[in-house]
Each structure stands twice: as C-alpha cells, then as structure tokens.
Structure 1
Amino acid sequence: MHWFYERKRDTASTMPKHKPDRKIPALMLQGTSSNAGKSVLTAALCRILLQDGYSVAPFKAQNMALNSFVTPDGREIGRAQAVQAAACRLEPDARMNPVLLKPSSDTGSQVIVMGHAVGNMRVKEYVSFKPEAFRTVQQAYDSLSAQHDVMVLEGAGSPAEINLKAHDIVNMQMARYADARVLLVGDIDRGGVFASLVGTMELLDPWERDLVAGFVLNRFRGDASLLDPALEYTTRKTGKPFFGVVPHVTELGLPEEDSVSFKEAMCRNMPKAGSCVDVALIDLPHIANFTDLDALSGEPDVRVRGVRSPGELGRPDCILIPGSKNTLGDLEWLRRTGLASAIEQMGRQSAENAPEIVGICGGLQMLGRSVEDPLQVESDGRNDQTEGLGLLNVHTIMGPDKVLTRVEGTHTAFDLSVCGYEIHHGRTQVGEGGGVSPCVVLPDGTAAGYSTADGRVWGTYMHGVFDADEFRRAFVDRLRSRRGEAPLGRVVAPYSLDPALDRLAAVVREALDMSAVYRLLGLS
C-alpha cells in the first residue's frame, strides 16, 4: 500500500473571500542555507503538535524542487509538504505549497501555482510575476490557517540572500504576513555554523531580526555540552537564545528533502551485510521524484547506487532510469556519456543473468524509440525530437496538458496491486509491430506502463510503484532468483512513514526546549 493511502482526511482547497481578522499561532523555520534540515524539522514539529492535541498544518509559500506529489484533487505540490502533511495526518493540499518551481534548465523553471502549471519562466520573468504569486500565497495561507489551531511554516534557502530580499515571498515577508516567530536553523555538520548564524543576523534588516526568536543547531554528532561556550558567545553577540541542539539522525526512513541530501545518501550507501541485489540508479542531470527509490533502498537485501558513467555501471541486477524534468535533454546526456550505448547493449542481452531494466515516468519515455516535443514543453527548441534507447516499442509525444492523478492498478507480471501517482506531460503509445504488452494496468483497463514479452525491460508512469510492500518484495525476489539466490518469499521491510515520523518527533522533542516553543506560540 502506498504510504499516503494509510490515512485519509478530507481537506478543501477553496480560497476565502476575505482576510481573517486575527492570525492563528504560527512558527516558521528558516535556515542559514539550503539543506539545513528545515523540511525535516518542520515535519517533526508538526507531528509533536499533533501528538499534543493540536490541529496543525504545514505551509511553504514557494518551493523549488523536482520532487513533487499529487493531491487528491489532482494538484501538484512539493514532496516535502506532502510528508509534512502526513506528519499532521492530513491529506496533502495545494494550499500547503501554493507556488512550486520545477527547474527545467539552469535559467528557467516550470511555475506551478495552486497545483497547476502556469508556464515556463526564466528568472526575470518570474521576478515580475512574484507580486501576483504572493497575493495567491496570502490567500492560500488565510484559507488553510482558518481551518487549524496552529501553523508551522518553512522558509527557503536563507533569509540573508540579499540579492533576493527585495522580492522575497517565502522567508521574512511571509513570516511577517503570518505573524510568525522564526527559528533560524543551522547545519553544524557542514562546519562554520556559528559564523553562519551571526552573519545571517548581521545581514537582516532590524524588523527581520525582531522576528527571529532564536536558533536551532541541527545534525550534531557528539557531546552537546562541548558547544556551551560557542552557544553563549553567539547569544551574547546576537541577543538571541538557542532553543536546542538536534542530533544527527541516521537511517530515519523519511524521503530526502532535496537532491543534495539524496546524492549524499547515495554516496553513503555502503554495501550491506550479506548478499545484496545490486540496483544501478541512473543519476540523470534533471532527475525528478527520486523518492521513488526510498522503499526499495530500505530493503535489507538491496543496494541502490548512483551511476553517472559507463565505468560505474558494472554488472548490476537491475538498471533503473528514474523520472526527469527534461527527458529530451537527459536522453542527450545519456548519449554523450556513453551510458545510452551501455544500457542498450545490456538491454539486448539474452543471458539469464542479464539485468532487468526499469524506467519510471521519464525513464519509461527514454526506454522507447523516440520522444517528441513539438510544443517545446520541456525542450528549448534546439531538440524537439530525440531518439530513445529503443528497448521498448513505444513512442512519446509531449503535450501541453500535464497528467496529475492518483492511481491504483495491478502489475500484471506478479498480479499484485500497486498504487501511486502520475505527473507527466508525455502521452506514450505502442509502435507499429507491437512486441510490448501492458505491465501496469488501471481498473478501467488503461495501461500505465509497458513491458517486453519476457518482462526483463519495463517502464511505468506510476510514481511510488515500489511503495507497495508485496509487489516490491516479489520484484526483489525475482532479481534474487535471476542471480541464483533463493527468494525470501515474505515482506521483510514494510514501508510506512508513520513510525519514522514518530521516531523523528521523539528525537526532536527531547532535543528542543518545547516549553519555550509553546510559550513562543502562546499555547499552554
């Protein structure tokens, strides 16, 4: 079962006509940098407040991420906000992340407002659009907060990015609108955290400093008492207290919050004890929704490792091509690096121990014969048609309308239920001559993926396909059998976010001065 199908609670995505007279209690987590751990700490505080009896909701005005999720009403939000919603035991809601930016190049992004794409914009275009976006952000916050007791907000990057402050809609401007007190989070694991905290405060305007209630150190390893002199000095220098020191938590079991964390986790993914199925994940330049691999990498007999060159490919049991925000560009990258040729060669091997090759969403499109983008939905006009890997006899054409839907179906090779969500512009059809068959079928008979006759190459549009415990184990056992090992035949690592969120909440509750947090919020 998919992790978000565990609990369901209806939420309405309607906007209020009038601004409420009074703001509800709100706390905001901002960071001295990106990847400081704001998303995870926001989820932790959401779960703590829920455990203590409050109706709480998360909010991030603007998120830039290639990890996204689909709400029940077919809208797209950042995956981190979906996890935070799970911490609150709420269904994800577009109001929790009213603006989502999905980078498609170094200078441009697809802009998604209230869950629907409004176009691709370069930086200057988006800056001009921001006043309109902020009005939508304010309406979304007012509507969502009116239904809850307390809000936990997340900032983005750093509030001290002085080149962005003039048109900020996600950090201090949002905190001021929400009447939220700010906790500034620093990642001590990176080094230089005290200089970052003091430097951030120095670059803030006086009114912004007034919103900062204090600091939180994150990801500390060792004896926290050794930090006392530095904490005391920083408090004297800034006038702001520390609310706690959160320890470094390993193997938490939650989706990585961004690509930085994800790639670091892949680098740390050392061989596990005993024999492991070897899954080579193609680390595409525009990799998207890489959290599709979380449940798979959590299996004790599976190792997922990132691959960016043919020399790193080795002889895996499975090659997995993930989603992409720029399928045509990433196909060209596969050809430039030589990975395309290596994957094609392995895909045409007939040996019994040849690797299984799997594509998810953009990966499915890449496995086909061609990908066309006549309307330049993803491409820049220089390459509106690209040859695929040719391992599946399917063709994809990008269209202007994005498919956004939650789906349930059956993986035909195992006759097991799978569920997840689809986010894609492409429409994929079987080519002349056939040779492929549906491998994931929805209740109405629609194919959500295709496979070769022997089942060794297959792809699906369903994100989260590996979250289903029984299917995932059957898939891993098939790989075990191909390498000559006995299948385990039972679920050994159930995938659920709820226990992980409870463990996270316990760690953060112990590390933070929650009495001070509640006083800050004006809650008993």
Structure 2
Amino acid sequence: MSNVADNCLLTGSGHGGNVHAFRRRVQAAGIIDFSANINPLGPPEWLRGVISRSVEDLGHYPDPECHDLVAAIADRGGYPLSSIVVANGSTELLYLLSRILLNSRVLIPVPAYIDYARAARLAGKPVETVAMREEGGFRLDPDLIAARIQPEDLVIIGSPNNPTGAMLPAAAILDLADEFPDSDFLVDEAFLDFVPDGISVGGSRDNISTLNSLTKFYAIPGLRLGFGVFHETVADALRELLPPWTVNTLAQAVGARALRDREYQEHSRTACLALRESLARGLAGFNQIQVFAGAANYLFLRLTGSTTAVQLAGALADKGILIRRCDNYAGLDSSYARVAVRTEEENARLVAAIGEILEPGTARPRPQRKTAALMFQGTSSNAGKSVLTAALCRILLQDGVRVAPFKAQNMSLNSFVTLQGEEMGRAQVVQAQAARLDPDVRMNPILLKPSSDTGSQVIVRGKPVRNMSVGQYHAYKDQAWAAATACYDSLAAEYQVIILEGAGSPGEVNLKRHDIVNMRMARYAGSPVLLVGDIDRGGIYASFVGTMEVLAEWERRLVAGFVVNRFRGQSSLLAAAHDYVAAHTGREVFGVVPYFHDLDLPEEDSVSFKEGIYRRPQPGQPHVDIAVVSLPHISNFTDVEPFLAEPDVHLRVVSRVDDLGTPDALILPGSKNVMSDLRFLHDSGFAARIAGLAGRGCTIVGICGGYQLLGREIADPLGLESPAGKTAAGLGLLDIATELKGDKTLLRRTGIHIASTLPVAGYEIHHGISTGPLPPALRFADGSGCGATAGAGRIWGCYLHGIFDEDRFRRHFIDGLLTHKGLPAKQIILAPYNLEAAFDRLAARVRASLDMDRIYALLRL
C-alpha cells in the first residue's frame, strides 16, 4: 500500500472526505474526492445569495430555537414541531442519543457506518452486530435482523446503508418496530433524499427515531447541518443536552431555504440516478470488480482479483483520486471499497484510472482530453472581450499554435458573408483574420440580428431560420445549443487551442437559465474563464466581486481570474484593489491592458459606434468632412471604419439633425429595418435636410439599406418589417424602387466601380431587390451590375458592404471630395487599411500587459 493511501485515506476516525490531510501531506492540486458522498451537482445556485443576505445577522446570536428551520422541516415531512431536533450535523445527534436512551445493548446490521458502534461504546453500551450476507449482496434482511433482536435493544439501521447503499423498505422497518415494541429503532436516513420515491419513517412510531443529513444532499458539508425526528420525550431530552446555539445563523438560513427547494430536489434525484447507473456500468466492465446494487449516491465495490481495494486506493491516490477503502468496516476486509458518484467527466476519469491500474496495457476507452481552450467573458457588454480574443489569437499564432476563435451566439447587426455564402458575426471574422484563417460559420454558429426591441432574425450555421420573438427563441434554444456544440466539436477537432468569447455578462441572472454562450459553453468546452472588466467605465472591482457573487458554485470554479481592460495610468496604482479582489474572491488579476486609442480594427458592434468611439478631433490639415447618419437600426457600420485612419478626413457620426451641418459627403449606412429607419428619417427632419444637401451638391452615398432609403419607394408585401403590403415613400434621390423579399441575398463579390474603373470587393447581405432606369454604380466579375448613380455621379448607392476597404477606391473617393472642395487631390494612398499591422501591434501590447506564463498554464500548453 502506498504511503499516500496509508496516511491520508484513513485519518482520524476513518471517514472519507478528508482531502485536507491529503493536501497537507502531498501538496497536491486538482484532487478528485470519491471518498465523500456529496451531491455531484454541487449546492443550489441560491446558496451564496442566502449566505450573503444572512451576513448582516452575524452580529447577533443565532436563533436558539431554529424556528424557521424547524418549521421548514415540519412542513416538508409533516412532523410535529415538538418531535424535531436540529443539530450541527446528524452525527452530533447520534452520539447524544446513544447516551440518553436506556437500552441495554445496541444491535447493528453490518457492514455499517463506523460511528454507530463508536457512539454506543462511548455511551458505555455493549454492541452486537448482525452480519448481512455477502451472497445476498449485503441486502438488509429483516428476518436476519429480527432473529437477533432482544427486548430493550437499540437497533441502528442505515437506510440507505453506508457503505453498501442497500435499502430496508419503510414497510419492513415499520413491521420490525411493531413486532418489537420494547426495542428502539434508530434509522439513519442521511442518504434517503437521493432515493427517488424514498419514504421516511420519521414520526411514524413511538419507538422509531430518524436521523437526517442536509449536508450531503445539498452539498454543504462545510456548514454541518442535520436533524432528527424523535418521540417527544426523547426530543426534549436531546434539547437539554445540546449546547446553546449549536446551529449557526448561516446554516439555519441555508437549511430552511434548501428544504423548500422542490426543483433542486427533483433535479438532483434524477441527475444522480443517471450518473450512478452510468458509473456502475463503467466499473462493472472490469473483470476484477464486483459492483453491488444500491440506492444511494455511491457504489459499493469488491475487488475479486489479485489487486486489493487497499492497493487500488493507494494507486489511485498517487493519481490524485481518493476513494473510500472499507477494510475498517465491521465484517469487511481489504477487498472492499466505496466510491461516490461524481460528475460525468470525473466518473470517466475514475474508470480510466482504474483501467490503467487493473489492466495496464489494455486498450480501453479513455475520456478524451478536450482541446485546450480559454474563454473571455465580461462584466458587461462592450468590456473588450472581442478585442482580447483577437489579440490572444494573434499571440498564439505568433507562438506557433494552431488557434481558432469561437463564440456560440452573437447578437449583432454587423455581419459578414463567408466564401461559402454564409452569414456570421463580424467580430468573429476579425478574430479569424487575427489567427490568419478564413472566416468559418463554425466560429459563430448562432447569429441574432435584432429586427425590433423584442425580436431578432435567427441565423444558424450561416443561414437564416426565421424571425423570432424572445419567447420563440427560448423555445428554440435546445436546437440552437445542439448546433453550437456540434460546430464547436467540429472546429476543436482541427485546432490545438480554441479561444472562446462570451456574450454580455455571465452575471445576468435573468438570462442564465437560457444561457448557451457563457458558462454553459465554457463547461462544455472544458475552458477556464477570464473575466474582463472595462475600468474606463468605472466600478470595475465592484463588478468583479458582484459577478462572482451571483455565479453558481460550478460557474465560480470555471473562473480562473480577471483582466482589467482600458486603463489610463500607472498600473502599479491598482495593487491594493487587486489585493482586495483576490482576498474577496480567491481569484487574481491576470493583467492590466491599457486604453488603446489607435487599434484601427473593426469594432464589435454598434455600441461603440453610438457611444462616440468613432468621434475624433478634426485633422490639423485641410480635410474633407464626411457625416454618417446613425440610424436606429444601423447595421454593418464598419463599412465606414477605413476612413478613420485617413489624415485628411474628418468622419462624424450624426444622431441629431441639428448636428448635421454642411458635410462634403453624407453616408447612409446599412439598416436591419429600413421601413422603421425610413420613418425615423422623415419624422426627425433628416429627410428634408438630406434633400437640401443634395440640392447644394453634397455627395450622398447609400450602402445596402442606405441605398434602399435613397430610392423613391420601398414596398414590403410580405410584412417583413412592417404591416404586410405596406409601401413607403423613400428619400427620392435615386430613381429606384425596392421590394423586400423573403429570400435573403448572401454573396461575396468582386468587380469594378464603373465611373473610376477601380477594383472593388465585398459582400452582399440583404432582403429585397432594387430596380430602376438609372445606370449601375458597380459591375461585377460575372457581368451583373449593382446600385444606381444620379446627380452627375454625386449621388449613388449599392449593396456592396466593404466597398471602402479597397485603398485605391477609397482614395479616389476622398480625392473627388477634395477636388470638389477646391483642395488638391493627393493621388496616393495615405493610410493603407492594413489589418495585419494592426493585429501585430495589438498582440504586442496585450502580450506585454497579460501574464502569458499563467495563460499558457491555463491552456496546459
């Protein structure tokens, strides 16, 4: 037997769950404890909130009568209040009860929980055991028990039994109590909550007492909480012996809440049963292991080959896996062990580890190591997750790692068409470019494009499904999740590392139930999480702490640390705040990323556009003024981003008609709801002002939805964006009519701008067809035309997104505005739209800001 097993698995009184001793002796990390039978689902999600709310009561002594907790127990079991006694764990009641009952001896069916006999002996009572038959699977046989009972015995029965998991049906217990009215029966129901349709015998007979544990089923062993149901005279005697305030304030609050949580109870029973059956099948696959039938959240095993359970426990301990060897149970030898039921992944690791020990060299299925992954989540939307994801993709690429980005679900009006004609979020396109990959819809399997305040177009694997309300999408979530996981698995199989991005915040408690992009996705991918906060907004450290406070325990375990983003100043000044967060959450800050003023990368979404990030001071040299109308349903606004780097362009985003002024050019960008945005232009006064600008010779350009808005009318016969059959008058600057169609155009395009003959390229994403007598603005490689031109070429529009990404065409456009203004044309490219240089610049800054050694450790690279 290994020293680890000898020193750590049988410490103190020989209980399982003593991981503290194990850690002290071997300095181990990542221990998986199968020796303690705790609910593998972990505590209920409300636990931390109840504890936090109860902290203000810690300045007072606990309620000595545990009024709320006792009421919850009585309500759940239908027990009289006077029969209930609560304590600091059910074991405390076991030891007291052995002292106050006047039985002449204690009879225990064995094997059994070792403290039954210890409590009796400490109380000075002789102990007799009745061995359950191994050939019967250690079934609790009421006839064997009855044959040994004498008057004035105390019979202690664990049901389910610890360690075997065997049950003695409630009816059989009641029959024994009726048959032997001069004997007392103590039934330990510590694991009964795990049994579907389990029936308690508490309060059913005067000579029956029951013990119940809340710590195991609700996964709160550190709180220590249990109760018993007794005859009223026994209950009164126990209360006299218990010290005052034996149950602390936090335990009382948690217990009362737990007993009323029917949803958690049912979910735990169902989930634990499925996990137990799966683990039993895995262990029964070994010729050297006999798995006994049981009803609790653990399995009782016998090693039948040359390896003993003691040796197996030692070998597993060397791998950081603890099981409960059972050679110190009465009637058992070194061939027996007990293993708890844990999570699916942990159970698979146990089976694999046992296979390596019992059948070395045998080809057995092993749990596949998931592709290395790391996820950025935020304390809020627009915290900088997308940019950091792109940065880490480029850093890993520079370090020779095959890396790809992934975001299960993106809500954005800024989309892109892949080479395969599939639509995905623009943020993941940028991240793919950072990793020098072709954009792939598997990187963003679900795209939601808001079409109203309460609904979105749902795009799955690059193809539109339909418009859905929030309720309809929630009903669709199972299909969306299946698509997201299938795409992730396919993508992960091709790369060494996946860098995932979350959405919004994992702390949005109103959205967590339907989450498929944050913690649920991180758990599926086996990905640690770095929580990103925007310090420029303020409140970042409260956001770190607050987010952790509203996360469930399994979610908290996924959070590896924090990233402070967009800091202006000296990062060493933040040390005290970082110490506070570490002390409060147990997680450290992985780095402080400075505020970048010159990223020159496409922004994630219209949040940045509308918050003014696009608003920059006027250039100091002669320049042209380009105004972009901020439509309420703006989409693909990144079409204008290439202008931001031009030294002779002042790009303005205009939300109010009074701010429009007299620009040299006005651009109407894309729109996800042209009918609504057209109404906005008319109602706000923009339509009249734009017509006035056109009359004064201003250059006016419409891209996609903006192109449709420039026409004389827009018809919506199918009711895609308005009541069916509605036709609305456009701005009338182009002689075109648009009809919105059910089918969506998704195309990549290359061609020329006809007037200049310069090459252009981009993509089309639109519902609707526009027709009219005007000459087209563009000619594509397949001979088709697009757009329309009027006003001697000063008013034009087209469906091509990304047209201004082309350096030569963009310079031609700017030079035309300069000339019209009486300024000399430059005729050379001044600001190449070079994302490669921007990615490398971003990677260098982020690499210097983050603790990359720790990030590589998280990735296990």
Structure 2 counterpart of 1:413, one-letter code: A
Secondary structure, aligned partner of 2:543: helix
Is this contact kept in 2: 1:369–1:389, CA < 8 A?
yes
- Give yes or no for the alignment of 1:426 onto 2:773: no
1:453 and 1:226, CA in 2 relative to 1: closer, same or farther beyond 3 A?
closer
Higher strand share: 1
- Give yes or no for the alignment of 1:264 onto 2:611: yes
User: Which residue of the partner structure matches residue 699 of structure 2?
Assistant: 356
Structure 1 CA distance for aligned equivalents of residues 718 and 647 of structure 2:
44
User: Which residue of the partner structure matches residue 416 of structure 2?
Assistant: 69
Please report how far the alpha carbon of residue 346 of structure 1 lies from its aligned counterpart in structure 2 after TM superposition: 2.2
Structure 2 counterpart of 1:396, one-letter code: T
Please report how far the alpha carbon of residue 447 of structure 1 lies from its aligned counterpart in structure 2 after TM superposition: 1.3
User: Which residue of the partner structure matches residue 402 of structure 1?
Assistant: 744
Structure 1 CA distance for aligned equivalents of residues 551 and 545 of structure 2:
10
1:408 and 1:76, CA in 2 relative to 1: closer, same or farther beyond 3 A?
same
Structure 2 CA distance for aligned equivalents of residues 264 and 31 of structure 1:
18
Structure 1 CA distance for aligned equivalents of residues 797 and 480 of structure 2:
36
Please report how far the alpha carbon of residue 131 of structure 1 lies from its aligned counterpart in structure 2 after TM superposition: 1.1
Structure 2 CA distance for aligned equivalents of residues 380 and 472 of structure 1:
35
User: Which residue of the partner structure matches residue 4 of structure 1?
Assistant: none
2:805 to 464, 467, 471: 467
User: Which residue of the partner structure matches residue 124 of structure 1?
Assistant: 471
Please report how far the alpha carbon of residue 383 of structure 1 lies from its aligned counterpart in structure 2 after TM superposition: 7.4
Is this contact kept in 1: 2:734–2:796, CA < 8 A?
yes
- Give yes or no for the alignment of 1:373 onto 2:711: no
- Give yes or no for the alignment of 1:169 onto 2:516: yes
Mean Cα displacement is larger for which, 296-305 or 259-268?
259-268
Q: How does 1:245-260 map to 2 (within 5 A)?
A: 245-260=592-607
Structure 2 CA distance for aligned equivalents of residues 358 and 27 of structure 1:
42
Please report how far the alpha carbon of residue 198 of structure 1 lies from its aligned counterpart in structure 2 after TM superposition: 0.2
Q: How does 1:27-38 map to 2 (within 5 A)?
A: 27-38=374-385
Structure 2 CA distance for aligned equivalents of residues 52 and 221 of structure 1:
28
Q: How does 1:221-300 map to 2 (within 5 A)?
A: 221-266=568-613, 268-300=615-647
Is this contact kept in 1: 2:716–2:724, CA < 8 A?
no
Please report how far the alpha carbon of residue 109 of structure 1 lies from its aligned counterpart in structure 2 after TM superposition: 0.5
Structure 2 counterpart of 1:516, one-letter code: R
Structure 1 CA distance for aligned equivalents of residues 655 and 390 of structure 2:
32
Secondary structure, aligned partner of 2:520: helix
User: Which residue of the partner structure matches residue 355 of structure 2?
Assistant: none
Please report how far the alpha carbon of residue 266 of structure 1 lies from its aligned counterpart in structure 2 after TM superposition: 4.8
Structure 2 counterpart of 1:355, one-letter code: C
TM-score of the pair, normalised by structure 2: 0.57
User: Which residue of the partner structure matches residue 830 of structure 2?
Assistant: 492
Is this contact kept in 2: 1:437–1:453, CA < 8 A?
no
Is this contact kept in 1: 2:703–2:798, CA < 8 A?
yes
1:474 and 1:396, CA in 2 relative to 1: closer, same or farther beyond 3 A?
same
Is this contact kept in 2: 1:266–1:305, CA < 8 A?
no
Structure 1 CA distance for aligned equivalents of residues 551 and 393 of structure 2:
27
Structure 1 CA distance for aligned equivalents of residues 719 and 440 of structure 2:
29
Secondary structure, aligned partner of 1:102: strand
Structure 2 counterpart of 1:152, one-letter code: I
1:325 and 1:72, CA in 2 relative to 1: closer, same or farther beyond 3 A?
same
Please report how far the alpha carbon of residue 322 of structure 1 lies from its aligned counterpart in structure 2 after TM superposition: 0.3
Alpha-carbon displacement from aligned partner over 1:354-402 (angstroms, at most 9, x marks no partner): 210000000110111111111122x131773211111111111111111
Mean Cα displacement is larger for which, 436-445 or 159-168?
436-445
- Give yes or no for the alignment of 1:480 onto 2:808: no
Please report how far the alpha carbon of residue 22 of structure 1 lies from its aligned counterpart in structure 2 after TM superposition: 3.4
Is this contact kept in 2: 1:309–1:338, CA < 8 A?
no
Structure 2 counterpart of 1:307, one-letter code: V
| Residues paired across the two proteins, number | 495
Give identity over the alignment, percent: 56
Structure 1 CA distance for aligned equivalents of residues 701 and 725 of structure 2:
25
- Give yes or no for the alignment of 1:79 onto 2:79: no
Q: CA RMSD in A?
A: 1.2
Structure 2 counterpart of 1:375, one-letter code: L
Structure 1 CA distance for aligned equivalents of residues 740 and 688 of structure 2:
24
Structure 1 unaligned blocks of 5 or more: 1-19
Structure 2 counterpart of 1:26, one-letter code: A
Secondary structure, aligned partner of 2:421: coil
Structure 2 counterpart of 1:300, one-letter code: P
Q: How does 1:91-240 map to 2 (within 5 A)?
A: 91-240=438-587
Structure with larger Rg:
2
Secondary structure, aligned partner of 2:506: coil
Structure 2 unaligned blocks of 5 or more: 1-366
Secondary structure, aligned partner of 2:529: strand
Mean Cα displacement is larger for which, 399-408 or 303-312?
303-312
Structure 1 counterpart of 2:782, one-letter code: D
Please report how far the alpha carbon of residue 310 of structure 1 lies from its aligned counterpart in structure 2 after TM superposition: 2.6
Is this contact kept in 1: 2:615–2:653, CA < 8 A?
no
User: Which residue of the partner structure matches residue 795 of structure 2?
Assistant: 457
User: Which residue of the partner structure matches residue 7 of structure 1?
Assistant: none
Secondary structure, aligned partner of 2:827: coil
Is this contact kept in 2: 1:266–1:306, CA < 8 A?
no
Secondary structure, aligned partner of 2:447: strand
Structure 1 counterpart of 2:420, one-letter code: D
Structure 1 CA distance for aligned equivalents of residues 855 and 693 of structure 2:
56
Please report how far the alpha carbon of residue 295 of structure 1 lies from its aligned counterpart in structure 2 after TM superposition: 0.7
- Give yes or no for the alignment of 1:437 onto 2:779: no
- Give yes or no for the alignment of 1:327 onto 2:674: yes
Alpha-carbon displacement from aligned partner over 1:103-157 (angstroms, at most 9, x marks no partner): 0111110000000110001111111111110011000000011000000000000
Alpha-carbon displacement from aligned partner over 1:49-99 (angstroms, at most 9, x marks no partner): 100001100000000000011111000000000000001100000000000
Please report how far the alpha carbon of residue 453 of structure 1 lies from its aligned counterpart in structure 2 after TM superposition: 5.4
Structure 2 CA distance for aligned equivalents of residues 283 and 212 of structure 1:
37
Please report how far the alpha carbon of residue 312 of structure 1 lies from its aligned counterpart in structure 2 after TM superposition: 1.2
Is this contact kept in 1: 2:662–2:693, CA < 8 A?
no
Higher RCO (Cα < 8 Å, 6 or more apart): 1
Structure 2 CA distance for aligned equivalents of residues 23 and 232 of structure 1:
33
Secondary structure, aligned partner of 1:246: strand
Please report how far the alpha carbon of residue 276 of structure 1 lies from its aligned counterpart in structure 2 after TM superposition: 1.5
Please report how far the alpha carbon of residue 268 of structure 1 lies from its aligned counterpart in structure 2 after TM superposition: 3.5
Secondary structure, aligned partner of 1:195: helix
Secondary structure, aligned partner of 2:436: coil
Structure 1 CA distance for aligned equivalents of residues 554 and 423 of structure 2:
34
Is this contact kept in 1: 2:717–2:724, CA < 8 A?
no
Is this contact kept in 1: 2:614–2:651, CA < 8 A?
no
Structure 2 counterpart of 1:61, one-letter code: A
Structure 1 CA distance for aligned equivalents of residues 706 and 847 of structure 2:
40
Structure 1 CA distance for aligned equivalents of residues 759 and 796 of structure 2:
16
1:267 and 1:95, CA in 2 relative to 1: closer, same or farther beyond 3 A?
closer
User: Which residue of the partner structure matches residue 731 of structure 2?
Assistant: 389
Secondary structure, aligned partner of 1:438: coil
Structure 2 CA distance for aligned equivalents of residues 82 and 96 of structure 1:
8
